[in-house]
């Protein structure tokens, strides 16, 4: 799979287009809906406005037109104009998306795909939306080389990761507000216009050593003062950025996004072959390069089991949610007198897990990331008795204490102004402390509250009049002892 390409949108605006070119951005995106008012009656050629080394991703602007109350005729006219523009600039485009007017329904979108048949299938990007269902996605994967989609839920991303590993489909992320929403190795390209937010809305975006951080506009002054050294070390004028100089701020933001793009490059995937030999009692060994009748490919990830040169079918295996531990116990003999020892399987939390590097949300920053591999970390936690329970509770309490201490450290570095997040973490620490104290308290006590009317005896108040009278007659000593104990408490 090729490395991730980040297409910065907004190139339909002449100011942004010239800035992106001057900063050496190699991949830009154009929203046709925003470009359309700037077009003239003569053919508008991309080659006349963009340097030849820039790659261009053209989107139809469906998300923009969805906010307009257009009639069906207006949508069809937009599609016809968009088709003409694509045909005039086909050679200059790297990719172009279809017009997926979501307000008209999936059936209309599927019908209009016919207009793109035979028109640069390797550049055409049909769009799939999460609410359109998995069956349509599977069909699109079988018939198209590319599929574009807006951000999807984490559960859907995991399914997409499996789909990408099993097929040769190229996924394109459209309208991403933050590329970190895309797990490493899943998308080939990402289109985003969020880099413009600092200039439009006063947001601050900072490349902080190994991660792009985004801060809201209300924190602008404090954040830009705190990251003064980041701006200077990157070669930009920190004072101009603090003063909201749009050009310097845009130049730094573009630089920050390019750093992020470089950090998100996905390693090339590897085709894995394994062989099981009967002579080794089922032991599985990794083949160095190839296996009989099988040809490895660096573009497609597969884990295949080969036995004596033949590919074995998939076999059912237990879900790695629980492991099972044998436990011996003594029970009554069902066949006669006495007892017998039996062995039963007790479920314990599984240690293997299903976490995969390619679908992990931490793939961008994980120090042990390796494409095509299972997670290199284990979480060996076991809670089977009180000591183990208290151990994990105290560990969680210490963890929260560290968070509070680090939050206070950060607050002091930022001038000591009270941080609401730190206050919340302090409150959480106190609640956790109280909960641990209640769990740890194993005292047994009995509290008796006695209410009685005037002139009623102590025993009568405790046991009732009839029972008290019986106790006095049968055992006066016990009655006296009961009175003393009651009075002493």
Parse the chain into domains and list their residue ranges.
5-192, 386-440, 458-488
pLDDT for 458: 54
Q: Distance between CA atoms of 388 and 398, rounded to whole angstroms?
A: 15
Q: Report pTM.
A: 0.57
CA-to-CA distance for 213 and 206, rounded, in angstroms? 5
CB atoms near residue 382 (< 10 Å): 11
SS (H, E, C) the chain: CCCCEEEEECCCCHHHHHHHHHCCCCEEEEEHHHHHHHCCCCCCCHHHCCCCCCEEEEECCHHHHCCCCCCHHHHHHHHHHHHHHHHHCHHHCCEEECCCCHHHCHHHHHHHHHHHCCCCCCCEECECCHHHCHHHHHHHHHHCCEEEECCCCHHHHHHHHHHHHHCCCEEEECCCCCHHHCCCCCCCEEEECHHHHHHHHCCEEEECCCCEEEECHHHHHHHHHHCHHHHHHCCCCHHHHHCCCHHHHHHHHHHHHHHHHHHCCCCCCCCEEEEECHHHCCCEEECCCCECCECCCCCCCCEEEEECCEECCCCCCCCCCEEEEEEEEEEECCCCCCEEEEEEEEEEECCCCCCEHHHCCCCCCCCCCCCCCECCCCCCCCCCCHHHHHHHHHHHHHHHHHHHHHHHHHHHHCCCCCCHHHHHHHHHHHHHHHHHHHHHCCCCCCCCCCCCCCCCCHHHHHHCHHHHHHHHHHCHHHHHHHHHHHHHC
Exposure class string for 422-447: b at 16+ Cβ within 10 A, else e: beebeeeeeebeeeeeeeeeeeeeee
**Residue-level pLDDT at 369:** 78
Task: Supply the pLDDT for residue 424.
Answer: 92
Which segments in the chain show pLDDT lower than 50?
1-2, 266-314, 452, 454-456
pLDDT at site 21 = 93
Give me the sign of the Cα torsion angle 233, 236, 241, 247: negative
Q: Could you identify the residue written with the tokens 């003064």?
A: 228
Q: How far is CA 483 from the centre of its chain?
A: 67
- What's the pLDDT score for residue 204? 93
What are 306's strand-pairing partners?
Answer: 275, 311
Residues in the chain: 489
- Note the pLDDT of residue 168: 75
Q: Are the beta carbons of 199 and 186 closer than 8 angstroms?
A: no
Mention the CATH class of domain 5-192.
alpha beta
């Amino acid at each position: 799979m090729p490395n991730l390409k980040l297409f910065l949108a907004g190139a339909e605006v002449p100011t942004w287009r010239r800035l992106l070119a001057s900063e050496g951005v190699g991949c830009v995106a154009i929203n046709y809906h925003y470009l359309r008012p700037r077009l003239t009656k003569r053919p508008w050629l991309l080659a006349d406005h963009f340097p030849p080394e820039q790659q261009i991703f053209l989107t139809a602007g469906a998300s923009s037109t969805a906010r307009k109350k257009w009639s069906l005729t207006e949508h069809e006219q937009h599609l016809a104009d968009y088709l003409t523009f694509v045909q005039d600039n086909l050679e200059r485009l790297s990719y172009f998306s279809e017009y997926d007017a979501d307000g008209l329904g999936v059936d209309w979108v599927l019908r209009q795909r016919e207009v793109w048949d035979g028109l640069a299938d390797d550049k055409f990007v049909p769009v799939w939306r999460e609410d359109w269902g998995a069956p349509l996605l599977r069909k699109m994967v079988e018939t198209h080389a590319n599929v574009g989609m807006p951000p999807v839920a984490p559960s859907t991303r995991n399914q997409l990761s499996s789909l990408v590993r099993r097929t040769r489909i190229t996924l394109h992320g459209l309208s991403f507000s933050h590329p970190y929403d895309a797990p490493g190795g899943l998308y080939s390209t990402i289109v985003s216009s969020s880099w413009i937010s600092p200039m439009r809305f006063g947001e601050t975006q900072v490349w902080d050593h190994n991660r792009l951080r985004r801060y809201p506009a209300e924190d602008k002054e404090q954040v830009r003062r705190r990251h003064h050294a980041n701006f200077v070390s990157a070669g930009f004028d920190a004072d101009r950025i603090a003063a909201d100089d749009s050009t310097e701020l845009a130049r730094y933001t573009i630089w920050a996004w390019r750093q992020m793009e470089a950090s998100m490059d996905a390693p090339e995937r590897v085709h894995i072959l394994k062989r099981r030999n009967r002579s080794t009692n089922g032991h599985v060994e990794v083949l160095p390069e190839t296996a009989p009748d099988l040809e490895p490919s660096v573009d497609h990830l597969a884990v295949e089991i080969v036995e004596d040169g033949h590919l074995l079918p998939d076999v059912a295996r237990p879900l790695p949610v629980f492991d099972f531990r044998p436990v011996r116990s003594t029970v009554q003999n069902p066949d006669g007198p006495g007892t017998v020892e039996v062995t039963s399987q007790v479920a314990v939390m599984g240690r293997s897990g299903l976490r995969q590097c390619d679908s992990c949300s931490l793939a961008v920053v994980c120090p042990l990331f390796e494409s095509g591999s299972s997670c290199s970390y284990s979480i060996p936690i076991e809670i089977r008795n009180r000591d183990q329970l208290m151990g994990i509770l105290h560990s969680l309490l210490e963890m929260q204490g560290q968070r509070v201490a680090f939050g206070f450290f950060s607050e002091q570095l930022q001038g000591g102004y009270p941080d609401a997040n730190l206050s919340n973490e302090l409150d959480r620490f106190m609640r956790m402390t109280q909960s641990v104290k209640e769990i740890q308290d194993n005292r047994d006590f009995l509290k008796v509250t006695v209410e009685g009317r005037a002139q009623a005896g102590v025993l009568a108040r405790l046991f009732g009049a009839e029972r008290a009278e019986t106790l006095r007659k049968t055992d006066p000593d016990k009655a006296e002892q009961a009175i003393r104990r009651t009075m002493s408490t």
